Structure 1
Amino acid sequence: MVAAEVVVVTEQLAESYDVVVVGGGAAGLSGALTLARARRSVVVIDAGAPRNAPAEGIHGLLGREGMPPAELLERGRAEVRGYGGHVVTGEVVAAARDDDGFTVTLADDRTVGARRLLVTTGLVDELPDIPGLRERWGRDVMHCPYCHGWEVRDRAIGVLASGPMSVHQALLIRQWSPDVTYFTHTMAPLTDEQAEQMAARGIRVVDGEVTGLEIVDDRLAGVRLADGTVVAREVVAVATRLVARGGFLAALGLTPVPHPAGVGEHVPADPYGRTDVPGVWVAGNVTDLVAQVGAAAAAGVTAAAHVNADLVTEDTRLAVAAYRTPLPV
């Protein structure tokens, strides 16, 4: 259990830490909590722009079903601080290798040293350039049925074709509602097999470019086509392009690359979060683009455990070298 003593919340950075965690979402805070409990000095540097901020609640996370995202993060920060970890608001703009590890630079020119880096900066959702989508994002424009499907069950749902996973998304969403319409928008026509699948599942297919959303009394009422037709819909689902937030890693030779599924860009890593750059681990949506909150948190714990094991190996190597060094006479 967390000790009962009063925890002083401070945003002041120490000169260096065993681990700097970049990103303070579920993955970063879970990783930092694991490291702090392992008696590592650790700081979480968080820019304060969580991907799920527009959502009313978190779903699929056992024991925290429906909890507002901001509340989950606040609890997580308190738990990290309760074990002596630091949580600091700031944006990391650069990371460079030095003799002892890494130097991390923030946008306000503060710097901090780290023996290891755990990057959990998440991703950015790039939406199609259609008026109204961004403004309704997280309300009646959604992307993940596992996150929001229950809340829109049995409603009139439109699926906007926007990428290679759009047909799959439409078939998936059919599980939550019998009233699904697929808008081909500017994507290639359906194959015969896809058209048959849509027909078999009772999914209406509407051809033509989508030019906007119809809003009535601050509610989504329909999808507007280029010819002026408005198709009545209460919810729109769209597969966004998912792009990892990892630009600051470029100086270390680590940049996001296209995801094999064609859904965006991610930072590759092994199953434990280890990247191709020694000393740098990643966890959460920055590497696993489709991870929900629970999976991201678990990945943060896994990566942190391997970071700590790597540090133990280094500590042991240094201790053995010192042990073998004869004491001065």
Structure 2
Amino acid sequence: MSQPPLSQFDAVVVGGGPAGLNGALILARSRRSVVVVDAGEPRNGPAEAAHGLFARDGIPPVDLLATGREEVRRVGGRIIDGEVVGVRRTDTGLEVSLADETTLVARRLLVTTGLVDMLPELPGIAEGWGKDVIHCPYCHGYEVRDRKIAVLGISPASTHQALMFRQLSSDVVYFIHTWALSAEDRERFDALGIAVVEGEVTEILRSDGGVTGIRTADGVVAREVVAISSRMEVRGGFLDGIGLNPIEHPSGMGTFLPSDGMGRSEAEGVWLAGNVTDLTAQVGAAAAAGALAGAQINADLIAVETEDAVRRHRTA
């Protein structure tokens, strides 16, 4: 089988979410050749709306991404629907391999592939994810205000999560499940009126209208919303060819790829933005990080091109 033709770009952006599209927009507006490769698996895909986003609160995620794609294309950027399966370093740059055997060559790489929420294996959880099973009070909390909220004890973040949802509803119940409370946590919950249910949860009960209750060995507690602190694992396995591998986050919330304050990774020529390096970034923060990384990539290319021009000038 003959090798597919190589396509040369100043930058390849892997991931077409807010971080990737904003990074590509900055690069394309700087008249860089840039292509975004997107696998079509946005983290907020199950949600009906994105919230907490300046001037766009409540916009459906699919509409937000469609607008972002059009903006990138309007200034000369390209969008490819596909999955990146590998990256390797060559004499000509960073070679990016796609699942359909397409190969792209980039002078610089921006990785914005985000993460995957690993949900507890409980009946009734997956069906409501992004609707009445939520994790972020800033993303969806206002929409469930004053309802009967259950917080499942799963990780160190669960207790803080209960405090945040208590701000939105007076009826919050913490289910121990797999994460027990310290004496200090119990005192805080008592002071705030957060009830505690011992034992593991066995099922999230649902009807056509959504969550109806939480079942434990001792019975059923009526609830309407479930809050969980999902484990977050980044999509970064395709980067092992250049020595970038996800590591455990210091918070214990999941895995991430470390970067400096400007998005530069530990691998030469590779930048990171969004949830792949910042697990808690919301849509606005991810987009801003993508814009910053795009500007830094452009600045890096300018520095290299200027040095080359000076050498040619001296020779002439």
TM range (shorter): over 0.9
Structure 1 residue 226 displacement after superposition? 2.9
Question: Which portions of structure 1, spanning 4 or more consecutive aligned residues, are displaced by more than 2 angstroms?
Answer: none
Is the contact between residue 147 and residue 171 of structure 2 (CA under 8 Å) also seen in structure 1?
A: yes
Helix, strand or coil for the counterpart of 1:15? Answer: strand
Q: Scaled by the length of structure 1, what TM-score is found?
A: 0.93
- Cα shift at 1:132: 1.4
Distance of 2:200 and 2:183 partners within structure 1: 20
2:303 maps to 1:313: yes
User: Secondary structure of 1:149's match?
Assistant: helix
1:7 corresponds to: none
Map 1:76-91 → 2, pairs under 5 A:
76-91=68-83
What residue in structure 1 maps to residue 188 of structure 2?
Answer: 197
Q: Deviation at 1:87?
A: 0.6
- Aligned counterparts, 1:78-227, within 5 A: 78-187=70-179, 189-227=180-218
Deviations 1:61-90 (A, max 9, x none): 111111100000000000000000001100
The reply to whether residue 71 of structure 1 matches residue 50 of structure 2 is no
- What residue in structure 2 maps to residue 37 of structure 1? 29
CA distance in 1, matches of 2:233, 2:220: 31
Separation in 2, partners of 1:217, 1:296: 34
SS of structure 1 residue aligned to 2:89: strand
Secondary structure at the aligned position of 1:307 is classed as helix
What is the SS of the residue equivalent to 2:150?
strand
Q: Aligned letter for 2:137?
A: P
Give the Cα–Cα distance (whole angstroms) in 2 for the partners of residues 223 and 130 of structure 1. Answer: 11
How many angstroms apart in 2 are the aligned matches of 1:325 and 1:130? Answer: 69
> 96-105 vs 214-223, which deviates more?
214-223
| CA RMSD, 1 decimal | 1.1
Q: Deviations over 1:275-308 (max 9, x none)?
A: 1111000000000001000000000000110010
Identity rate, percent = 59
Residue in structure 2 matched with residue 292 of structure 1 by the alignment: 282
Please show how residues 215-254 of structure 1 align to structure 2 within 5 Å: 215-227=206-218, 229-254=219-244
Distance 1:127 1:217 in 2: 21
Cα separation, 2, equivalents of 1:91 and 1:104: 10
Give the corresponding residue for 1:23.
15
Q: Whole-Å Cα distance in 2 between the matches of residues 193 and 282 of structure 1?
A: 38
Q: Distance in 1 between matches of 2:206 and 2:197?
A: 20
SS of 1:221's equivalent in the other structure is strand
Task: Say if 2:255 is the partner of 1:262.
Answer: no
TM-score normalized with structure 2 length: 0.97
Q: Which runs of 5+ in 1 are unaligned?
A: 1-12
Query: 1:6-45: per-residue Cα shift (whole Å, max 9, x none)?
Result: xxxxxxx971100000000000000000000001000000
Distance 2:84 2:64 in 1: 23
| Cα shift at 1:318 | 1.4
Residues 27 and 34 of structure 2 are in contact (CA less than 8 Å); yes or no, is this contact kept in structure 1? yes
CA distance in 2, matches of 1:29, 1:316: 27
Q: 1:237-289, CA deviations, whole angstroms, 9 ceiling, x for partnerless residues?
A: 00000111111111111111111111000000001100111100000000000
**How far apart are residue 100 of structure 1 and its match?**
2.5
* Paired residue secondary structure (1:71): helix
Q: How many equivalent pairs are there?
A: 312
For the residue of structure 1 that corresponds to 2:69, the secondary structure is helix
Q: Secondary structure at the match of 1:36?
A: helix
| Equivalent residues of 2:215, 2:221 under 8 A apart | yes
